[in-house]
Structure 1
């Protein structure tokens, strides 16, 4: 459990950004459930919450990025998932222009504002986020060392009038809800070993409700797609404030993981 950054985040930021009173002694689960998630949806149906299992991601990269090479950026990453992104589905106004789902997932907001040349660290300035939020994001998103936050926002949110602070505030709240769930605990408990793919789905349903496994998409890489690298969870854009209740989840396509899935750990 990422208690250190969550305590800073849950008390000092959720109450300020989301205008919800949170008691200073509230635990992570209580704080997460107390905060309504306000993020206006501009004509799209659902979000995909993409969460990385950091040891698995790093183990399957032929050229590991900075967040995999530097020990300080791997701290606590075996204690839960880390944030990859929060992805709106195909907006209606893009669909009306003939953009289909595969093209939207490939290009996103770059369809309107072409991706700048060079790295995102050079092409996009840092966000002016409040210090507490920025510190929490540093811990929850190791890829921020490679400017993953700037890339995710530019591709998935910049063209949809999603305010930067709210976008990342909500992303962190959703991440914490998953990490504090029985599903998150199951993955942490089984790191360093293998589990059946169906066990992961069953653990998700045990945490979030019967038949909710269809909202979970597993991503695996490495030889034979055996190493868990990411989970993706479909969330109704109009029911974001109900997450992680079963009625807030929407079905997704299945991933391509081997029937036996390895949950990596750092050596």
Structure 2
């Protein structure tokens, strides 16, 4: 009889241990799930996956007058009063699947010696206007360095960038720059323009590039953080909002005028 009692007690102990183990396992699972949730990026912080770089060509050319696209610049050309394309690249990725020989040629800077782009003639024509650096082979360089690390063709890659550029040039950011030719704009003003054009906080995802020209600090371009799925028709505002904040770097600069030294 005492044996039956012992077995019964042992069974109760086993059930108790199993119950406790189940509770501990479930609690641990909840803790893991909560920890995973806690490590997610909080709204407003985001993660920058791509960089969209645009140039303010008059400022860029002020310190590079010998470049082909700068020597040919005029005051009535598109890039004299609009942002122009520099590139779109994924963070910490470059030259994906590019042969060592082609990569070495690209890194030497003789970009016009690189293979021509396989894009529609309409796109090539638009790039000649929107991306003056094509005169120096910048489009070929950007495709090999950055476009090869993204899905899609060169046509997809540049069509998307042109779409983004159109959106930027139709925004309050371009209005601010075009209205202040020859004058200084500040970090606060540019961030406000981005917030107006792309939603609150967009300006915190932008960095400005400036270079010294004598006693002036001239704006040469902007880099804009993006995050999300890149494809034709992507919402530029949403891509900017999903990126991480960054330091603005250059607190103010002159919006240079084309051809004015």
Q: Structure 1-normalised TM-score? A: 0.69
Distance in 2, matches of 1:235 and 1:151, equals 21
In structure 1, which of residues 232, 254, 258 is the aligned counterpart of residue 223 of structure 2? 232
1:229 is paired with a residue whose SS is: strand
Distance in 2, matches of 1:179 and 1:192, equals 18
Equivalent positions of 1:23-34 (< 5 A) are none
CA-CA distance at 1:113 after TM superposition? 3.7
Equivalent positions of 1:50-199 (< 5 A) are 50-61=53-64, 64-71=66-73, 75-90=77-92, 104=93, 108-109=94-95, 113-114=99-100, 115-117=103-105, 119-122=110-113, 124-199=114-189
In the other structure, the counterpart of 1:256 is: 249
Provide Cα deviations, 1:46-85, integer angstroms capped at 9, x if missing partner: 2211000000101123x63110001369712122100000
Does the 8 Å contact 2:88/2:146 carry over to 1? yes
Distance in 2, matches of 1:77 and 1:244, equals 23
How has the CA–CA distance of structure 1 residues 195 and 73 changed in structure 2, closer, same or farther, with 3 Å as cutoff?
Answer: closer
Q: Which consecutive residues of structure 1, in runs of 5 or more, have no partner in the other structure?
A: 1-43, 91-103
Distance in 2, matches of 1:149 and 1:109, equals 14
How has the CA–CA distance of structure 1 residues 213 and 71 changed in structure 2, closer, same or farther, with 3 Å as cutoff?
Answer: closer
How has the CA–CA distance of structure 1 residues 72 and 126 changed in structure 2, closer, same or farther, with 3 Å as cutoff?
Answer: farther
2:54 is paired with a residue whose SS is: strand
Question: What is the CA RMSD across the aligned residues, in angstroms?
Answer: 2.6
2:116 is paired with a residue whose SS is: coil
Does the 8 Å contact 2:111/2:140 carry over to 1? yes
2:243 is paired with a residue whose SS is: coil
Does the 8 Å contact 1:217/1:232 carry over to 2? yes
Distance in 2, matches of 1:225 and 1:110, equals 39
1:244 equivalenced with 2:237 (yes/no):
yes
Q: Which consecutive residues of structure 2, in runs of 5 or more, have no partner in the other structure?
A: 1-46
1:220 is paired with a residue whose SS is: strand
Distance in 2, matches of 1:116 and 1:149, equals 17
CA-CA distance at 1:136 after TM superposition? 0.7
| Greater C-alpha radius of gyration | 2
How has the CA–CA distance of structure 1 residues 142 and 82 changed in structure 2, closer, same or farther, with 3 Å as cutoff?
Answer: same
Distance in 2, matches of 1:246 and 1:126, equals 29
CA-CA distance at 1:264 after TM superposition? 0.2
How has the CA–CA distance of structure 1 residues 191 and 249 changed in structure 2, closer, same or farther, with 3 Å as cutoff?
Answer: farther
1:186 is paired with a residue whose SS is: helix
CA-CA distance at 1:184 after TM superposition? 1.3
How has the CA–CA distance of structure 1 residues 112 and 134 changed in structure 2, closer, same or farther, with 3 Å as cutoff?
Answer: closer
Distance in 2, matches of 1:109 and 1:225, equals 36
Does the 8 Å contact 2:50/2:225 carry over to 1? yes
How has the CA–CA distance of structure 1 residues 249 and 56 changed in structure 2, closer, same or farther, with 3 Å as cutoff?
Answer: farther
How has the CA–CA distance of structure 1 residues 161 and 184 changed in structure 2, closer, same or farther, with 3 Å as cutoff?
Answer: same
